[in-house]
Amino acid sequence: MNIEILKQFFMWATVLNFGLLAIWTLVLGLMPEFAYRAHIRFVKLSRESWNNQMFALLAFYKLMVMLFFATPWVVLLVIT
Instruction: Return the percent helix, strand and coil in the chain, to nearest 5.
Output: 90, 0, 10
List, for residues 16-65, the tens digit of each pLDDT value: 999 999 999 999 999 999 999 999 999 999 999 999 999 999 999 999 99
> Does residue 78 surpass a pLDDT of 90?
yes
Contact between residue 76 and residue 62 where contact means Cβ atoms under 8 Å apart: no
- Please state the pTM of the whole predicted model: 0.90
